Structure 1
Amino acid sequence: MKRELLRSFIAAIVISLTLNACGTLSTWEAEPPKERIEPDLSNLPQEVESLAGPLTRQGQTPGLIVGLLLPDGSCRFFGYGSTTSGGGETPGPDTLFAVGSLSKGFLGGITATLVQEKRLSWSDTLPALLPPGTPLSSDAARISLEQLATHTSGLPRQPATLRTLAYFVEYLFTGDNFYRHLDRDTVLDYLSDFSAPSDPNPQYSNIGYGILGDVVERRTGQTLDELLAQRITGPLGLPHTGYDPEKLPGYASRAIGHAGDQPKFIRRGEPVPDWRMTGIMRGSAAIYSTARDLLNFAGAHVRKDGSPLSSALAGNLRIRFARPREAAAIAWIADDVGDTRILYQVGLIAGYTSYLAVNETNGTAVVVLQNAFNWDYSLGHKLMLLLATPPKIQSE
C-alpha cells in the first residue's frame, strides 16, 4: 500500500510538472481543430505557404518540410526556413529528421507482417509473449499484443518513479533524454506489480511500444534494424529511414533539433541534444526519416496493389477501439476533423515535431516535419482538410 501511495504521489508530481512545462497530457497530445477550411488546390504553393510559412517567419521553428500525397498519386513538397537556427539549407524532401513516435507506425507495420504470417496473433497475451518466468501482475498478464499496439493496455507513458522525475526535471533545463534509464530490466520489472487504471480509455504508452519491440525481436531472433530493412524500408524503397541516423544518407546535413515549447527552460530556437534511446525503447521513438520516405510509407497504407505488405499495412488502419472521443488503430489515431475522417500519428521528441496522416477515402496523405518541439500540430490537420475535397489541380 505504501509503495502504491508513493507511486501515485510521484505520478501526480510528474503530471503536474509536465502540464506546466509541456502544455498538455491529454489522451492524444492535443485537440484537433474543428473548423473546416475551403480547399483551393488550383494555387497549391500559395495555399500551403499561407498555412506553413508563418511558423518559420514567426520563430515557432527554424525550419519545416511539408509533403502532400495528392489524389492522383503524385507527391508535392514544400520547404521553409532552415535546417539550423544559425543558417543552413532549406529542408527538402530528403532532409533527415528525428521523427520520435512516428517510429511506432513502423513497428506496428513490422508486427502486422508477423501477424499476417501467423508468427504472432493480436490476441496473444504477455505470458505467451515474454520469456517464461517473467514476473507479471494479474493485470499485466491480461495485456494483449493488440492492446500494446493500440495504446489500450493501461500502461502509462513511462513509469512514475523518483528517477524518472529527477531526469525529467533535468531535461527541462538541459534537454537531455529522460528515458535513458529505461533499460529492459527496468521496463519489464515494472510489469511485476502493474495495476491497470479504472478508466478504460486509451492511454498513450511509450513503454508499451518498448515492450512490443522487445517481443518482436525475441519472437523472430532478429534486431529491429534487420526487421525494419527486410519487412518495411527495403520492400517500399525507403533508403533514408532507420534507427541509426549516422548510417543513413544525408546525416551530415540533417535538420538539427531545437527548443520550442519544450524544454521549458531553454530559450526557443536554441539547439538541444539528440536523444539516443535504450535498446528496449528504440521501437517507440528512435527512427530518423525524411518527408519523402514518410509520405511513401503513408501511401503504402492506402495503396490497393494487392501485395501482402500493403494488405498488412492497410489492416493497421482498421479501428480496434472506439469510444465517443477516441478511436485507436494499430499505431494510428482516428479522428473526425471537421467532417473528414483521418488517421494520424504525431511524433514529439527533444528538438523535433512530426506529423503523418492519411485519408482512406481519397488516398491522400500529409507529412509535416519541424526541427523544433511544438505541441501544436494543427498545421497537419489543416493540410488534410485542404486535400479532402480538392478541385482539379493546375499544372505548374
Structure 2
Amino acid sequence: MLNRISLLLLISSVLCGCSSLSSNNVDQDNPLAYCHVPLQQQVDALALPSIESGDSAGMVVAVLTPQGQTQVFSYGYTDETQQIPLTGDTLFAVGSVTKGFTAETVAMLVAQQQLGWQESLSALLPNTPLSDGASHVTLEQLASHTSGLPRQVNSFAMLHQFVGYLFTGNQFYAELDNGDFADYLASFEPPTTPTVIYSNLGYSILDEAIQQRVGEPVEQLTQQLLLKPLGLKNTGYQPELLPGYAQRARGHAGDQPKFIARGSQVPDWQFHGYMVGAANLWSSANDLLQYARAHLYGTDNEVINQAFTDATTMRLQVADADSVGLGWLRNEIEGEQILYQSGFIGGFSSYIGMDQRLKTAVVVLQNSFNWNNNIGHRMLLRMAKSNDALACQTPIPPHEQMTASNSSDDNDQQTGGR
C-alpha cells in the first residue's frame, strides 16, 4: 500500500504544481526560412494556433530584439466572461519564475554579507532538528536545486490535497506553505552524487532560513531590494494591491487539472507562508521584459548587477541536461546558450528567456496551464540564427519573398486579428 501511494505521489510531482520544467522543443529551420519574415508574422504563426485550437485562453509574447527594441504581441482575453483583451500590462500569476527573484534577493544579501552561500542549515536553522545529511545542506544548494531535496514532502495529506486539485483546481501545497517539513529534515539523507532535483521544498526551507537570519519575509526584501529599484510597478506578491488587478488574467484549465474541462476557469493560487518565495509572484509581460533588459544591459545599482551575475553563473552541469544557476537554467541548443525560467501555477504558464550574447529576451505568459512552452526558446534561437546567417544580410529578391515568408513555420498563417 505504501509503495502504491509513493508511486502516486511521484506521478503527482511530475505532472503538476509549480515547476521550472517544461517542453522547450525548437524548430531546426534554415535561417533563410524566417530571417526576412517580420517579427509579428513569426510570433503570430507560433501563438495563434494555440489560441484558435482552444489550447490556450490567451497569451502575451514580449520580445527584446538584438537592436534593443521592444515589441509586445497579445492574443485572446483575460477570460470568457469579461472579454478584456490581454496587453503587455495585464497581470499574470508567474509561478516558479518567483524563484528567480528570490534567488537574486538572496544574492544581494550575500553581497551585503548578511548571508553566505556556503552556510549550512545547521547554522541557518539552529533550532530545527536536522539529520547529518540535512545539516550540511548549504544555502547555495537550496537556491540551485542541488541539495538532493525532493519536489515536496510526500505524505498522506499531500496526496489527499492533490486528488482534490484534480477535481477542483485548488492548490495542494498547504503543508509546505505552513512549514511542515521539520520532521522530514530530521531524517533526510542526500544522494551521494551531486544532482539537480527541482525542489519546491528546498525553496520553502530557503524562505524560512532567510526570515530567521534577516528577520524579514522574503517578499518584503524582494520588494525593497529588487522590485522598487527596478521600477517594476506591475509586479508583486499581493495582486490585489497592484494596478489593473480587476482586469487581471484569469487562470484556465489546460493540460491540468485532469478532471476539469480544458478552457474552464480555475481558482487563483495564493500562498501566505513559506511558499511565497517559491511561487506567489504576479507580474506582467512588460515588467518581466524590463527585468530581463536589466540583466542584459545592467543597471546603475552595482549590488543588483553583482546579484544578477551571481545568479546566472552556473553551479552544476548534468550530462544531457540543463546547467543550473540560482533560479536560472541554461540550455545549449546548436551552440547557442539560452538562460531561462519557466513557471506553472493554477491556470497559468510563464516563461522568461535571455540570450546574453545577442542581448535578446523573450517573455511568454499564458492564462492556461500548458506544459508545452516552446515559443520563447524558438524565438530566441531564430533571432540568433538570423543575426548570424550571411543569407540574412542580403535582401531576398521580390519573386522569392513569398516563398520565404510562407516557409517560416510549419504552422504559419497570415497575420490576423488577436
What is the TM-score with the length of structure 1 in the denominator?
Answer: 0.91
Residues in 2 aligned to 1:18 and 1:153: alpha-carbon distance in whole angstroms? 17
Moved more, 208-217 or 110-119: 208-217
1:343 deviates by 0.9
How big is the shift at 1:31?
A: 4.7
Offset, 1:379: 1.4
Deviation of the 1:97 alpha carbon: 0.2
Tell me what 1:10 maps to. Answer: 5
> Partner letter of residue 33 of structure 1?
N
What does residue 414 of structure 2 align with? none
Q: Which residue of 2 aligns with 1:36?
A: 28
C-alpha deviation, 1:199, in angstroms: 5.7
Q: Which residue of 1 is the match for residue 336 of structure 2?
A: 340
Structure ID, larger Rg = 2
Q: Give 2:66's aligned residue.
A: 71
Query: Residue 75 of structure 1 aligns to which amino acid in structure 2?
Result: T
Structure 2 counterpart of 1:254: 248
CA contact 1:41–1:47 (8 Å) conserved in 2 = no
1:117 aligns with 2:109: no
8 Å contact from structure 1 (residues 148, 212) kept in 2: yes
Q: How does 1:93-172 map to 2 (within 5 A)?
A: 93-130=88-125, 132-172=126-166
Task: Give 1:223 deviation, angstroms.
Answer: 2.4
Q: Sequence identity, in percent? A: 41
Partner of 1:289: 283
CA contact (8 A) 1:32 1:337 kept: no
| Aligned twin of 2:412 | none
- Residue aligning to 1:359: 355
Q: Which residue of 208, 222, 226 corresponds with 1:228?
A: 222
- The offset of 1:190, in angstroms, is 2.0
Q: Counterpart of 1:116 in structure 2: which amino acid?
A: A
User: 1:35-67 CA distances to partner (integer Å, 9 max, x unpaired)?
Assistant: 433342651111110111111111111100001
Q: Secondary structure at the match of 1:182?
A: helix
2:380 to 378, 381, 384: 384
Distance in 2 (CA, whole Å) between partners of 1:41 and 1:243 is 41
Please state whether the residue corresponding to 2:342 is helix, strand or coil.
Answer: strand
| Residue 59 (structure 1) aligned to one of 54, 63, 68 | 54
Q: CA deviation at 1:303?
A: 1.8
Matches within 5 A, 1:159-308: 159-198=153-192, 200-305=194-299, 307-308=302-303
User: For 1:158-192, what per-residue CA distance to the aligned partner results, in whole angstroms no more than 9, with x for missing partners?
Assistant: 10101111111110011011012334441233211
User: Where does structure 1 lack aligned partners over 5 or more consecutive residues?
Assistant: none
| One-letter identity of the residue aligned with 1:200 | P
C-alpha separation in 1, matches of 2:386 and 2:110: 36
Indicate if the aligned counterparts of 1:180 and 1:278 stay in contact, CA closer than 8 A.
no
Q: Is the 8 A contact 1:36 1:338 kept in 2?
A: no
Cα pair 1:35 1:338 within 8 Å, conserved: no
* Cα distance in 1 for residues equivalent to 2:151 and 2:208: 17
Structure-to-structure mapping, 1:312-331, within 5 angstroms: 312-326=307-321, 327-331=323-327
SS at match of 2:361: strand
C-alpha separation in 2, matches of 1:386 and 1:226: 38
Between the aligned partners of 1:139 and 1:41, the Cα distance in structure 2 is: 55
Cα distance in 2 between the residues matched to 1:41 and 1:317: 32
Q: Distance in 1 between matches of 2:123 and 2:386?
A: 48
The verdict on how the C-alpha distance between 1:165 and 1:71 changes in structure 2, with shifts beyond 3 A counting, is same
Shift, 1:201, TM fit? 2.1
> Could you say which residue in structure 1 is the equivalent of 2:400?
none
CA distance in structure 2 between the partners assigned to 1:261 and 1:366 by the alignment: 23
Equivalences for residues 41-52 of structure 1 within 5 A: 43-52=38-47
Q: Please give the secondary structure, in 1, of the residue aligned with 2:256.
A: coil
Length-normalised TM-score, structure 2 = 0.87
Q: Matched residue pairs, number? A: 385
Contact in 1 for aligned 2:22/2:342 (Cα 8 Å): no
> Which region of structure 1 is more displaced relative to structure 2, 96-105 or 198-207?
198-207
Residue equivalent to 1:80: 75
CA 1:344/1:290 → structure 2, altered by over 3 Å: closer, same or farther? same
Q: Aligned AA for 1:36? A: Q
- Whether the 8 Å CA contact 2:176–2:204 is kept in 1: the answer is no
2:165–2:171 CA contact under 8 A, matched in 1: yes
Rounded to whole Å, the distance in 1 between the matches of 2:83 and 2:334 is 37
Contact (CA 8 Å) 2:263, 2:368: kept in 1 or not?
A: yes
Displacement over 4 Å in runs of 4+: 391-394
How far does residue 205 in structure 1 lie from its aligned partner after superposition?
0.3
Distance 1:212 1:75, change over 3 A: same
